Amino acid sequence: SGRAMKVLLLTGLGALFFSYYWDDNFDPASLQGARVLLTGASAGVGEELAYHYARLGSHLVLTAHTEAFLQKVVGNCRKLGAPKVFYIAADMASPEVPERVVQFALDKLGGLDYLVLNHLGATPAGRRSGSVQATRRLMQVNFLSYVQLTSLALPSLTDSKGSLVVVSSLLGHVPTSFSGPYSAAKFALDGFFGSLRRELVVQDVNVAITMCVLGLRDRASSPARPPVPRGVTRAKAAPGPKAALAVIRGGATRAPGVFYPRRLHLLCLLRGWLPHPRAWFVRQEFNVTAA
């Protein structure tokens, strides 16, 4: 049938893209001495990114909201061999913070080779996830601060012919229930970086943009995954270290996109072609255990 042919075609396209992204001739030595500004570095995949960069000999500036968590990660990075590692605690909900963070990184490292944007915002306690106030805050943290950080770091990245690496979850491409404000911000982000990539080509600016889609899931609530109704849980989390390594490989090889696990690429392709199977796939991220 026509639908079956579409599935076969998309599967073939997915395999082609996967082979393109992963036959990447990744050279770990290319990251030795690289100057990296990493946001959202205190926990989760951001913490794992910091540890991988440290093992590879990169110079790091780490930022996140909580100073105590950052201090722990910095200490571990030093043990893992990072030649230089600095941190700056910062709340991206404040519009003036991105400039302070980028300037700190430039002062400490003398320039940037990688800007890795991984931070995200949570709905403030006591507010509904769909409220205007919560959405406005999430747009600042999950969208506007990304735009600010990128604009401020772009001159240095242009000088170094560096890379922008942008990390988000599947919800930035295929929204589900309970994800409205987060998905809205990440959809906007995808459009912004898609436009920026084209502008850089037109202006002949050699800065790569790698968009990373991670399928990390947690049974507990997280900032990107707000509380769900009773009786509904998330699927088991994917391994953070492996997801972080996929991000680093993609950024280092200047790949346009990274999908981890790889099946997420096919799911994103299915989004516009087969809406009903897409919904079925998305529902597999949930376990409904009670009425």
What is the rounded average pLDDT of the residues 211-221?
62
| Alpha carbons 18 and 47: distance in angstroms, whole number | 26
Long-range contacts at 198-205 (CB < 8 A, ≥ 24 apart): 205/158
What is the per-residue pLDDT across 275-284, written as a single tens digit (0 to 9) for each? 555 555 555 5
| Alpha carbons 184 and 58: distance in angstroms, whole number | 33
182 as an active site residue: the answer is yes
Average pLDDT, rounded, for the chain: 79
Residue 41, SS3?
coil
Residue 266, SS3?
helix
| Alpha carbons 279 and 176: distance in angstroms, whole number | 9
Say which residue, 144 or 170, is predicted with more confidence.
144
Q: What is the pLDDT of residue 189?
A: 82
The candidate with the shortest Cα–Cα distance to 125, out of 137, 117, 143, 140, is: 137
What is the rounded average pLDDT of the residues 8-20?
56
Q: What is the pLDDT of residue 15?
A: 56
Burial 190-217 (b: 16+ CB within 10 A, else e): bebbeebeeebeeeeeebbbbbbbbbbb
The candidate with the shortest Cα–Cα distance to 164, out of 202, 128, 194, is: 194
What is the rounded average pLDDT of the residues 113-142?
75
Q: What is the pLDDT of residue 280?
A: 58
Q: Would you state the structure tokens that stand for residue 133, as one six-digit string?
A: 């106030």
Q: Which residue has the tokens 């990245």?
A: 157
CA–CA distances in Å: residue 291 to residues 166, 178, 230: 38, 17, 8
Q: Would you state the structure tokens that stand for residue 164, as one six-digit string?
A: 């922008």
Position 228 confidence tier, pLDDT thresholds 50, 70, 90: very low
Q: Would you state the structure tokens that stand for residue 138, as one six-digit string?
A: 């999430």
Least confident of 45-54, 109-118, 170-179, 257-266: 170-179
Contact in structure between 32 and 43 (CB atoms under 8 Å): no
| Alpha carbons 28 and 37: distance in angstroms, whole number | 18
What is the per-residue pLDDT across 50-84, written as a single tens digit (0 to 9) for each? 999 999 999 999 999 999 999 999 999 999 999 99
Q: What is the pLDDT of residue 283?
A: 59
Choosing from 21, 114, 146, 182, the catalytic residue is: 182
| Alpha carbons 88 and 94: distance in angstroms, whole number | 14
Which residues are paired to 222 by β-bridges?
225
CB within 8 Å of 252: residues ≥ 6 apart: 26, 27, 30, 31, 163
Q: What is the pLDDT of residue 270?
A: 58
CATH superfamily of 27-286: NAD(P)-binding Rossmann-like Domain (3.40.50.720)
